[in-house]
Structure 1
């Protein structure tokens, strides 16, 4: 009886597989048209857990290794945006990261060494503690669900800057970059950012001869005079480790009080505002269109093929 059942089972399997076998015999095995570009490898300059570049390797400035683009970009997501944020905000960020990486590769060639900082799994474990597994799986899912998607403007990959928190408005690329090439990077309102806990921060430094000499339309500092020298607002911000490029300067009790608004340079997508938009039901497509008006989401394989 058992032998009869086995024989019957074999007949069923043959019947089920027969159409596929005939098709393969006549036409050859089918090939999926989807290009899994996120499975490719990239060259990355690796840093240790402290953020210092690893000594040695092919370059005196650090060790260059190859790793899957997914591992690298998930590490960038982990470092650049809170993993606790809403999924739609994280998807928008994932597309910005992927676009930036492929833009660098496309413009500089396949031998490009990516310098963008990212978190290794050990750094994620240290930062997230008991939530490591939950957050890592979440970011992997976000990356997978947006696989291959990039932001495009016209026939090129878009410039995709982002930052943590605006002063209530994003900036215009014409003023920041002094270029007409990025019409999709313009001033948009971020009302939720104004209410954020870290909207205002203050730093006190030693007294000096300093004056803000130019700001842009959104209120971010373009130029600062320090003594006889003129420096950009971003250079001044980096020198004094200010939270934002939007700041004011006041003298108080023989010192200089610098008050900042927002966190970051203010150009492109505000992560905090994007997260609030996601909480209010906006999709990642709507979020990206709000901050990068006129761009469209495409498959990176399609873009790269069109430009070859």
Structure 2
């Protein structure tokens, strides 16, 4: 996406993204030190073998229906959850259709494990545990090393050097790190941009971009535990429980979709912990988030037998967007053409967002410079644009939200851009610097007024506007809406299925 996902406990943090992301116990944490480590290594080895096997299986099964159509062939099991409201105030209800669910093979029978990248290309990673940290080679080392906390990991050629608090040094090509004390279910990972605690194990490996690059850290975590960490970062956990439950189902749908997509491509990472995917806060203990995840365990959104890539963003501004207007929707991106992701002229309730409406002012020179820079970076004809003459809406969605714009220069040449591409172009940073916080174009829904050397942009909302609007969800909850009714509104025609 210039992706979905939003934010934190205060609204400024909540809206800081332009993607605008009881819980089951961690699996092995209460085992003995040896069995826990062996279990972790076994999952990593098994994952590699499964990727090789599934690569062939997925390519065969999806040849005719597109990458994530595999869900229609058997990754869902019949739903045994409460009804999905479809009738508004009439009270009529439906589940994911019996005939649909009956035809799906029961392929996913257990909660999946995810590999979430929590640090990328870091020069120094500091790990802390209660006392000692267990470090093992990721290729199946049985014994490993016990190191005293804190442990500092750094890149060393094609491998990793780890030094503990007593000066002990060990070297690995890549290393699995976990807390050696079985009573403490997570170690604490500290990098130079902050710190957080993570459940499960952490895989440290050299970033593959170059020999001079740093380290990556990947957290292996169970889906439901991961989702608690997502809810803690993607919206205020003080919000209504129905809002949190809607968010949990959307986030689970997105996470499963993206992990399957990366599995098909053979990657070793399922998700990023940033707003490139969903913001993930690690091992958080927030009761409201835990309840929302627990009450929706295993539930995802399906549309015509396919898993919905359930995008969401902060504030739609009253006009939801169509995924096919925001991102490519053919070939390997055909999932963006699902009817449930095309929006509707629906009710909205996001007026409480500080970015429901916004106005910014730029100079003509600033706008022209950013548009040309975006053109150069993307090898687009706009790199040679003359003086800016106008920016007008070229095409709108069913909700009247702009889907495409037409930019015209002083020579009469026109350039057509998707609304989100234009938003990104107006915020272009290459060799220019990021616009000030108060000067950001916050969505692709805006009007542009040019007067001499001054440009005024009046806009609606924050984020791409596809799928769930988080501020609308909270507004609907305050009106008494259930999470089922919210999801039916945000993803028209979608139904709830239960995968495990």
Match of 1:45 among 107, 113, 117: 117
1:84 maps onto 2:238 in alignment: yes
Equivalent position SS for 2:337:
coil
Matches within 5 A, 1:1-308: 35-37=109-111, 40-47=112-119, 50=193, 57-60=206-209, 63-68=216-221, 69-109=223-263, 111-113=267-269, 114-115=271-272, 116-120=277-281, 136-177=286-327, 179=329, 181-185=337-341, 186-194=343-351, 196-207=353-364, 208=368, 209=388, 210-217=390-397, 218-225=400-407, 227=409, 229-239=415-425, 240=427, 241-252=440-451, 254-301=453-500
Equivalent residues of 2:473, 2:486 under 8 A apart = yes
Structure 1 pair 120–195 and aligned structure 2 pair: CA distance change class (3 A): closer
Equivalent residues of 1:221, 1:247 under 8 A apart = no
Structure 1 pair 143–57 and aligned structure 2 pair: CA distance change class (3 A): farther
Equivalent residues of 2:356, 2:461 under 8 A apart = yes
Counterpart-to-counterpart distance in 1, 2:328 and 2:482? 31
Equivalent position SS for 1:184:
helix
Counterpart-to-counterpart distance in 2, 1:287 and 1:49? 40
Counterpart-to-counterpart distance in 2, 1:70 and 1:58? 28
Equivalent position SS for 2:316:
coil
Counterpart-to-counterpart distance in 2, 1:56 and 1:97? 27
Counterpart-to-counterpart distance in 2, 1:119 and 1:49? 17
Equivalent residues of 2:352, 2:471 under 8 A apart = no
Task: Find the structure with the greater CA-based Rg.
Answer: 1
Structure 1 pair 36–278 and aligned structure 2 pair: CA distance change class (3 A): farther
Equivalent position SS for 2:492:
coil
Displacement after TM superposition at 1:194 (Å): 4.4
Equivalent residues of 1:202, 1:257 under 8 A apart = yes
Counterpart-to-counterpart distance in 2, 1:298 and 1:196? 31
Equivalent position SS for 1:171:
coil
Larger deviation, residues 157-166 vs 58-67: 58-67
Counterpart-to-counterpart distance in 2, 1:286 and 1:216? 26
Structure 2 residues without counterparts, runs of 5 or longer? 1-105, 120-190, 195-203, 330-335, 369-387, 428-439
Structure 1 pair 107–198 and aligned structure 2 pair: CA distance change class (3 A): closer
RMSD over aligned Cα atoms: 3.1
Equivalent residues of 2:326, 2:420 under 8 A apart = no
Q: What is the count of residue pairs matched by the alignment?
A: 253
The structure in which a higher percent of residues are helix is 1
Counterpart-to-counterpart distance in 2, 1:165 and 1:172? 14
Structure 1 residues without counterparts, runs of 5 or longer? 1-32, 125-132, 302-308
- 2:50 is aligned to none
Displacement after TM superposition at 1:150 (Å): 0.8
